[in-house]
Amino acid sequence: MPEGRTLLWVGLGNPGAEHARQRHNIGFMAIEAVARRHGFGPWRRRFKGEVAEGRVGSARVIALKPQTYMNGSGDSVQPAAGFHKVPPADIWAFHDELDLAPGRVRVKRGGGTAGHNGLRDMQRALGTADFGRVRLGIGHPGHKDRVTGHVLGNFAKADAPWVEALLEAVAEAAPLLADGQPEAFMTRVALLTAPTEEGAGR
Q: How far apart are the first and last CA of the chain?
A: 34
- 24 tagged catalytic: yes
Q: Which of 163, 118, 160 is nearest to 13 (CA)?
A: 118
Whether 165 and 55 have beta carbons less than 8 Å apart is answered as: no
Q: Select which of 19, 24, 38, 140 is catalytic.
A: 24
Orientation of helix 117-126 relative to helix 74-84, angle to 10°:
40
**Rounded Cα distance, 189 and 168, in Å:** 9
Would you call 61 helix, strand, or coil by DSSP? strand
Which residue numbers are catalytic? 24
